[in-house]
Structure 1
Amino acid sequence: MRNEPITAAPVPMTWVGPISVSGNVMTGLQEVPLATYETPLWPSVGRGAKISTLTDKGIVATLVDERMARSVLFEADDATTALAAMQVLNSQRDRLQEVVSTASRFAKLIDIHHQIVGNLLFVRFELSTGDASGHNMVTLASDRLMDHILATVPGLRYGSISGNYCSDKKATAVNGILGRGKNVVTELLIPREVVARRLHASPEAIAELNVRKNLIGSITAGGLRTANAHYANMLLGFYLATGQDAANIVEGSQGITHAEVRGGDLYFSCTLPNLIVGTVGNGKDLPFVGENLARLGCADERPAGENARRLAVLCAATVLCGELSLMAAQTNPGELMAAHVNIERKGTR
């Protein structure tokens, strides 16, 4: 690398909302920042945010689980040796946690999963990581674990610190099944008259489009544990504004939108099992990031992990707002393109 000066690439950013959120992490109204070149996203998310304030509970966000994973790769003498090694590791969870603690006081070993392919042993360590997204924390812990395992378990040799069974920044089934980052489910029950007046649609039309587009369309396209319209748009805007590793939108956008008619009203839900966000760590020392996190209420003095949980919930609620607005727009011919033309092209084609 040449000694080039570090500069900045400015991305337009604004705050939208407020969004009404309740659930097992937080309750209240909160505006959110979105940094994006796709400026129609701002009014679209804003429309969903407004809808949230017109309902009884707002967006109910439930943090289901949280963990960061790193999979390491060992070469074993043979499959029998690999299986014996895993039996040893599973019997020594307490000792492995002691090793993890030498890497970070915040890292806690939650679970271990493995796959044996021939004589190759893939071991996926899953850890809680406090307020950090945890990439570096779990990698350092895995480094220490590998040293310990190679020194104490016979028949294994180093393969790689990352064996792709993690799976980092790749669209895989394993992350959707086991989770990587924060697993958040958001739900919103919207009165029929609000759907008609604010979204210019009906609960039936949105529910039907969700089945045809997000479910059947995604299956037809070969989508991998994903059934949504555009989670990546909101994730990228939120990640860039809050100092996250933007490449994590690859697995982050693997999520499922669910919609159904309940008593004439619209039930709308977004499930995101791979939200990788943190409020401390690399990138969070940038002035604009610190200011944004503080305004989000995610830089307060709280027990370890609570700021990151709040950030994940607000991120997931933002995704629902944008997803709802786009789905409603696509029930009406021409509405989506008209919005882009009016906002991005100043009304000209």
Structure 2
Amino acid sequence: MSTFEVAVVGRGLIGSAAARHLAEAGRSVALIGPGEPEDYATSTGPFASHYDEGRITRMIDPDPAWSHLAIRSIGRYADIEERSGIGFHSGTGLVYSGANPHADLAHALELDVDAREVTAAEVAERFGIDMTSADAIILEAAPAGHINPRRMVAAQSRLTATAGGTVVDAAVSGAVPTADGVQLTVGSDTVLAGSVLLCTGAWAAELVGVDLPLERSLRTILMAELDDGPALPSLISRTDPATCEEDPRHDVYWVPPVRFPDSRVMLKIGGYDPAATMADDVPTVVDWFRSGGSVAEADDLEARLREFLPDRTIRSRDFKPCVVTNTPHDLPWIDWVDDRVAVAVGGCGSAAKSADEIGRLAGTLFTEEGWTDPVLKLESFRP
């Protein structure tokens, strides 16, 4: 039986970041989680949010806490890439329109974010994007853009191992408290950890038997192969929740065309779906991933894409299921759930870009000093 000071369960974006920070701080740490399923249709999970080729990076946000998380994380990208030898970041910029874009811009400028207001005519001329319905449009320059989450997890995992951490490619099926810590069933083996950090997204509650009020929204994303045209930035176009509820076309995001495993270069688009199903348990999440996603939601996303890019042609398309795990306070849930187990879960659809800082903050729970951040208070990350 292997023994560690800390076991990080969940080898995704947040878990791999937490393990790296703990290992580089000299802690004895195991990063535990299975690889990507070969066949969604037959796998029983667990599934993870980083099985993807693109996630948006940005620092502008209506919530200052998310801006701080993003600025800190993005500021470390280059170091992680250089030391791991794995590139994952592309600074393509971001076109942004929110419910209160002028307030968002003012806050971003206070934090020295490179962003400015632009006109719909400029966006149309530079990118071929129709944003005429937006009240105001913000252009955020690089390092806004996107990351490759698969490669980011690989980079963090490699640095964890380089720092002396142990990376275990297996799922955890059980966690039992003992006098010395927590005994984990990992595949056919057993791991004993003095304490455990769960970075398991939609799977956390069932693993530890703690009632975590997480909302698991079953969603579909569309990948579209476009004809040749202007290079595109990332995009977020959102308005107030009431308007989105009435007309979901007012809530759209995309990652610009990137190369997917099947060699196609495709734009990935998602958005708000008022008809999205909420999963009450893990079996429902598993069934969703195995289903392949919603054709109706994919069709709706394609229609939205055509409205934003009226002069582009969609050569081919694909779609896949995903799950957005939300918390009651719209920030990641980072806290102890008992004297041995802590959680860092609930990305709220915004955590990928900020995962390195979320993981670092979660890791401070396992240090002698504890959480001492002068700007981001632990209380803000508790529901």
TM-score range, shorter chain: under 0.3
TM-score norm. by structure 2 comes to: 0.25
Q: Report the structure, 1 or 2, having the larger strand content.
A: 2
TM-score norm. by structure 1 comes to: 0.27
Larger radius of gyration: 1
